[in-house]
Structure 1
Amino acid sequence: MPITPLILKASIVILVSAILQASTGFGFSILSTPFLLSFFPARDAIQISLLFTLLISLGMLRSTYSEIDKVLLKRLSWSSIVGIPCGIVVFWLISLIWIKWLLAVAILGSTLFLVLQRQIARSRRKDVIAGFLSGLLTTSVGVPGPPLLIYMTGSSMDKAIVRSTTLTFYIVVYSVGIISEWVTGGFTAHLLATTIFLLPSMFLGIWIGKYVFLRFTPVVFRRTQLAILLFTGLYLLFSILSSTFAAAA
């Protein structure tokens, strides 16, 4: 596959998103999906996000396993599996513009919640709700992160537990999501070739992200989350409005 401007742009997005994912446990799908939706068809963009987030989580499992909250992980996992088929139905029923609006609302809503510093008392029911919403968003817009980010940050969980539990949860939810995508339509040869071509950017991002994580204080960790969400949400909103005005003109 030749190195085109599109591939170069996608490589930069994958690199930066992988750094954020490896350093915070969040960030890859939240940051990459809005940009990938600008580069690729909606289904391809979501599938690329699914594949890369799964690969990053698998690559970091060994170094994060000991810090996982296993009770929370179990609840998130089974409830997300219930939400995944619901997300597939949502994806097939709504148009690309509504997918973008749904994503923008989820991201900017997460940002507002974190800015207001609302506290959430953890419970079994809330664990399940967070998992279900993450599963639904995985296959509808390719971004399971906002419900987890709101819940875990609002619960004031330790950054190491947040990172480890989230990365391991992604192995579950993205594996099921990928299987669901395969059953309902599969992956094109071009998409798989594009994914392979972008792998070096992902590996470099993981290496940098591990280094960055060791230097995060809790305050910097939270501010990074806010910056990721705000930048991505505003970019997506700008993209939606620009497309709308262009179509009207």
Structure 2
Amino acid sequence: MQELLFYFFIILAASILQTSTGFGFSVMATPFLLLLFTPQEAMQINIILSLVISFSLIWKVRHDIDVALLKKVMIGSVAGAPFGSILFALVDVTTFKLLIAILLIGLTILLIRNFSIQQTRSRDYGVGFISGMFTTSIGMAGPPLLLYFASTHRNKETIRAVSLAYYIFIYLISLLSQVIFEGTSKMVWIYSMYALPIVFLGLIFGQMLFTRLNQKLFKILIYFLLVAAGLILLIQSLWTML
């Protein structure tokens, strides 16, 4: 019973974060889900519930989606995904995670110090490429998008809407490939079903939070998520090395 309550608390917190920002479910949930499930089960539960949130919100946020930007990010991610698989097969993943963690934390510090870049067509494709590569190599699609959107100063509505729409695309592909090539388990789907009422509760609270967040607070949340993602990767890689 205690494990189930802990599971529900994790899902509620992650659902609120994902609903209010468009990001954060995997950052918040995955480290704790790994305490309860195998890595494959934790990843699949994460993907399924992230998809539920994205599908539940997509109609509401559809008018905020920058369709041109979304298309370029999606095309870039399709091109980047095979390179991520090659990296996963050829390089030491632990060392790669360590480098990404240091880079992620360093770039976030630059953002906090008001670093910015100009959005361009090639950079839109590029961030999609990196996101696709990260998805198939370290299982994190979000950080490259977060860094890019924050550095180009997009408004919170566009960031959330594009992110949620992109996750539907990238996570559907990820889930299908995992089920086909790695299989799944009954536990994944049972616990995903258990979590659905909690996810919908998180949707309500997350939407209430989103309406109360101004652009400045939204940016602070983005910085928090980026630092958290970097620290999680850093701890994972250092723990593996020990």
TM-score by length of 1: 0.85
Query: Aligned partner of 2:116: which letter?
Result: Q
- Could you tell me which runs of 5 or more consecutive residues in structure 1 were left unpaired when the two chains were aligned: none
Q: Are residue 58 (structure 1) and residue 63 (structure 2) matched?
A: no
Paired with 2:67 and 2:176, the residues of 1 have a C-alpha distance of: 24
Q: Give per-residue Cα distances to partners, 1:57-85, cap 9 Å, x unaligned.
A: 11101100011000000011122122234
The 5 A counterparts of 1:106-125 are 107-125=104-122
Give the match for residue 219 of structure 2: 222
Q: Give per-residue Cα distances to partners, 1:195-249, cap 9 Å, x unaligned.
A: 222222221111111010001111111111222333454355446546655xxxx
Paired with 2:39 and 2:99, the residues of 1 have a C-alpha distance of: 13
Shift of the 95–33 alpha-carbon distance from structure 1 to 2, 3 Å rule, reads farther
Paired with 1:45 and 1:209, the residues of 2 have a C-alpha distance of: 22
Paired with 1:137 and 1:33, the residues of 2 have a C-alpha distance of: 16
Shift of the 8–97 alpha-carbon distance from structure 1 to 2, 3 Å rule, reads farther
Shift of the 86–42 alpha-carbon distance from structure 1 to 2, 3 Å rule, reads farther
Paired with 1:15 and 1:106, the residues of 2 have a C-alpha distance of: 30
Equivalenced residue count is 242
Contact 2:98-2:238 at 8 Å conserved across structures: no
Contact 1:91-1:99 at 8 Å conserved across structures: no
Give the match for residue 36 of structure 2: 39
Give the match for residue 197 of structure 1: 194
Contact 1:47-1:142 at 8 Å conserved across structures: no
Secondary structure, in 3 states, of the residue corresponding to 1:137?
Answer: helix
Paired with 2:76 and 2:9, the residues of 1 have a C-alpha distance of: 33
Q: Are residue 12 (structure 1) and residue 13 (structure 2) matched?
A: no
Contact 2:84-2:136 at 8 Å conserved across structures: yes
Displacement of 1:52 in angstroms is 1.6
Give the match for residue 207 of structure 1: 204
Q: Give per-residue Cα distances to partners, 1:126-185, cap 9 Å, x unaligned.
A: 111111111222233332111000101100111111111111111111111112212211
Paired with 1:132 and 1:160, the residues of 2 have a C-alpha distance of: 23
Displacement of 1:103 in angstroms is 6.4
TM-score by length of 2: 0.87
Percent sequence identity over matched residues?
34
Paired with 1:100 and 1:145, the residues of 2 have a C-alpha distance of: 15
Contact 1:131-1:148 at 8 Å conserved across structures: yes
Shift of the 85–204 alpha-carbon distance from structure 1 to 2, 3 Å rule, reads farther
* RMSD over aligned Cα atoms: 2.5
Secondary structure, in 3 states, of the residue corresponding to 1:214?
Answer: helix
Shift of the 99–182 alpha-carbon distance from structure 1 to 2, 3 Å rule, reads farther
Contact 1:34-1:232 at 8 Å conserved across structures: no
Paired with 1:120 and 1:158, the residues of 2 have a C-alpha distance of: 15
Paired with 2:104 and 2:121, the residues of 1 have a C-alpha distance of: 24
Give the match for residue 152 of structure 1: 149
Shift of the 77–236 alpha-carbon distance from structure 1 to 2, 3 Å rule, reads closer
Task: Select the residue among 67, 71, 76 that pairs with 2:73.
Answer: 76
